[in-house]
Amino acid sequence: MPLKRPVLSDRNTKLAILVLPTFILGAIFKTFEIMPWWTAIPLAGAEFFGMHHVVSRVLLGSKHGNEANLTNSPYCAGIITGTMVWLGWAWFTRFVYNTPGSATANLVFAILFILCAYNFFRAITLDAGTCPTPAGEEEKKLVIENLTSEGRLNGQTFCVSCMAQKPLRSKHCRHCDRCVARHDHHCPWVWNCVGLGNHRQFIVFVSTLVLGIIAFDYLAYQYFSLVTYPSPLPPHDTPSLFARVPPPGPPPTTPGGPTDTGSSCILPDSICAATEFDSFLTSLLFWTNLQLPWTFLLLGTQIWQVCRQMTTYEVSNLGRYGWMGGRGTSLNTQMGALAGVHPLSEEGMASAAHGGHGHAHGHSHGGGIAAKLSSGRMGFLMKLMGLDRFTQTRDREGLVKLAARNRNPFDLGCVGNCQDFWSTGREVGVDYERLYEVPQEGFREAKRRRRERMEEEGLLADEGGARKGFMRRMSIGGWGAMLGRGGGGREGYAPVRMDENV
C-alpha cells in the first residue's frame, strides 16, 4: 500500500529519487559479478523492481505507480545519472590502465563523456523557453478582447492555464505548468521540457551519449582482447593494482580464447569467457547497449525534424491540426479556429484547455498492434523512449501529410533550418517567445525589410559591440522584448496584434 504521507520533504524526496538509481544499478552489476547468471538474473530483476516500488509507492506515494508522478520526478534522470557514473568508473578502473594501445580511443571517450555529462546537466537546469504572461488582469482582459474581436480565441492562440496568448509553435506543458516556446516534448530523462532554451543541449547530449556508448564498446573489445588473467602467484613482488583472483579452473590465455566455461553458459564461448573474466563490466555493457537502439532512433528523428523545421509536438499533431493549426498552404489561415468548432463554444473552450497537450494526450483509435503499443504500460514505455509518435494513428497520418501539398511556413531549406535551430531564431530574425503571426512575405523578406527600415532611420549599430542587441531588436516580436525581462522574469508581454506590414 502506498503511504498517505510523504516520507521526506519535497526537496529531499527529489534528491533521494535522483541518487537512488546509482546505488541500485551498482548493486545489480555487483550481483552479476559475485553470483552465477541463473541466480543473478532473477535477483537483479528483484532489485530493479524494488527500486521502482520504493520510488513510486514509498517516496512518491503513488497508488499504482502513477505515470504523471513518475514523469514529474527525477526518476528517469537518476537512471541516466547512475548509468553515467558506473560507465565512468568502469572506464577509469579498467580501460585507462589496461588498453595501452588505445590512447586515442580513451581520449575520445573522455571528451564525449564530459560533453555528455555537461549537456545533460544543462538540459536539466536551463529554462526550456517560458513564454511571457500578462502582468495583471487588465492585460489579460485586453488579450481576450483582441483575440475575440479577431475571431481567433481558441486553443491554438490562447492558453487558459496561463491566461495568455500563445506564441506560434508553443505548447502548454501540464508537467511544468507553463507555456514553452518552440516546444518539442517533455522529456522525463532530462527532468525538463525540451524547447527553445535547451533543445540544442538536448541534441548534443543525445549525440554524445550514442557516440560515447559506441566508443565504450570499442574500448571494451580492446580490453577483452588484450587483458589476460593474472596468475595466482604473480612473478613480481608487487601485484598489479587491478589484479584479480581468477575463477576456479584453468584460466584461458585470453578472455576471447578457447575455454571450457562449462555447460551453464548458453552464450558463445568468447562471450562466456568475457563474462567469466569480468561479469561487472559485461553486465554494464549489456545495460548500456540496451539503451543504444532507441537513443539512436531518437537522435535520428531529432536531426530529421530539425532539418525539416519541425518539432516532435508538431509532427504528432500534423494529422489533427495541419501546420501550426492551419489547413492547406495559406499563411492567412495559420492561426484560424479549429475546424468545425466555434472558438467560444463549450467544445472550443475545451479545446483551448487541452489543445496544448496534443502530444501527451494523443490517442489511437485504430486496432491491431499499433493500438496495443499506444495503450497501457507499453504506451508509457513508448513515451519514455520517444517512440509513441510512430504508433499512434493521428501521428502516422501527420507523417503522411509531409508528402502531401501542405507547406510548412517556417521551412527555410535544410541548411537554413539548421542555422535557425542553432541560433534559436536569430538567423532569420525570429523571437519565438513572442511570435504570434507568420509574415505574409516570409521570414527572410521580413528581416530584410526591417533591416532596410532601420538603416534609413539610422538605428543600425556598428559591426562591433552591440550586434547581439541589434539582432534582438530586429527579431520578429523583439520590440516587445526590449520592455525588459530581468532576473528571468517574463515582463514585456505584447498582447496587441502585430503590424500586418511587418
* Gap between the Cα atoms of 502 and 500, Å rounded: 6
Of 151, 181, 144, 142, which is closest to residue 333 (Cα–Cα)? 151
* Gap between the Cα atoms of 364 and 431, Å rounded: 34
Residue pair 171/180 in contact by the 8 Å Cβ criterion: yes
Task: Please list the rounded mean pLDDT of every run of 10 residues in the chain (502 residues).
Answer: 64 92 95 89 93 88 67 92 96 91 94 97 94 88 88 85 89 90 92 94 96 96 74 40 41 43 66 85 94 94 92 80 46 37 39 40 44 54 56 52 62 87 84 84 76 74 45 42 35 37 34
pLDDT at 330: 36
Q: At what angle do helices 279-307 and 414-422 cross, to 10 degrees?
A: 110
pLDDT at 384: 56
* Gap between the Cα atoms of 114 and 211, Å rounded: 12
Residue 165 per-residue DSSP state: E
Give the position of cell 506564441: 167
pLDDT at 316: 81
Q: Verify whether residue 187 is a known catalytic residue.
A: yes
Largest CA distance in the chain: 90
SS3 content of the chain, % helix, strand, coil (to 5): 55, 5, 40
Determine which one of 159, 162, 187, 193 is catalytic: 187
pTM over 0.85: no
Q: What are phi and psi of 172, to 5 degrees?
A: -85, 120
Amino acid letter, residue 172: H
Residue pair 226/274 in contact by the 8 Å Cβ criterion: no
Give the position of cell 511544468: 176
Q: What are phi and psi of 176, to 5 degrees?
A: -90, -15
Amino acid letter, residue 440: Q
